[in-house]
Amino acid sequence: MIHWTYIILLTTISCNNQQQKVVESNTPASAKSTVLTDPKNQICWAGTLNGKTPVFIHYYLDSNIIIGEITYLNTKKKLPIKLLGTIEDDKSYRLLEFEKSGNITGIITGLPTDKVFNGSWFSPKTRKELAVSLVKKDTAIISNKADIQLQDIFGDYHYQYSEAGYQGDFEIKKLPNSKASFAINSVTDEPARNVAEIDEDTITLNTTQFIYKLPDAKDCGFQVKFYKGFVYIRYTNGYCIGQFGNNATIDGIFLKTK
């Protein structure tokens, strides 16, 4: 039987408790340096991949965005990995494990209930799929806030499902007089590499999100919303049919890399 007692020692506030507490002396430096999110939204799970690999997951929800971390408990340092995802139209979850480079090492999908989260884990690189079996935990946790200030959004963002998979880049630059320029370029997986591209354009930007409509397209628009460390792009009128290469898309989560 796998024991989860030491997970509790890593953290300082209950997932379901809104009262902040003192950090334990044996808490790793990585945990001590984080700051508290809104604890009422914290959700924690413990379980396994394929019945063998022990994992601990925690996240909170911002509308349909999922923001958290996954820790593989059989690793030596037990370092948390950024976990970002979305709640789909059918209420199922789609969670992405991000390396700092923007490379996605794992995709977790499933439909959690009040007590269990069963689904699958998939590697974009190896194409290996494992069963996910998690149980909800009333465990203590600290997480980074995802709020961001306007001056901090500018830079380069990227995602890729391995070298051979789907890839995308988003760039936004600050301009004078509350203006900004941005561009998006995404490609499908090998060997086709069909392209979805938004040429560099200038917009007025006073908040950490904006809606953009393609100048020459009647119904093609999308929302860009910034969080600390990533940006989420979603279509506002459904997929822009006929605007991009076959199966190419600009929507998704892009991790800030620069």
Region of 90 on the Ramachandran plot (φ > 0 left; ψ -120 to 50 alpha; else beta): alpha
Is the predicted pLDDT of residue 239 greater than 80, yes or no? Answer: yes
Is the predicted pLDDT of residue 193 greater than 70, yes or no? Answer: yes
Whole-number average pLDDT of the chain: 85
Name which residue leads in pLDDT, 19 or 155. Answer: 155
Is the predicted pLDDT of residue 251 greater than 80, yes or no? Answer: yes
Interval 23-50: pLDDT, tens? 232 233 333 323 334 444 689 999 999 9
Is the predicted pLDDT of residue 163 greater than 60, yes or no? Answer: yes
The model's pTM is 0.84
Is the predicted pLDDT of residue 89 greater than 50, yes or no? Answer: yes
pLDDT for position 216:
81
Interval 196-209: pLDDT, tens? 999 999 999 999 99
pLDDT for position 108:
98
Split at pLDDT 50, 70, 90, the class of 145 is low
Name which residue leads in pLDDT, 103 or 144. Answer: 103
pLDDT for position 11:
39
Q: State the Cα–Cα distance between residues 134 and 8, nearest whole angstrom.
A: 17
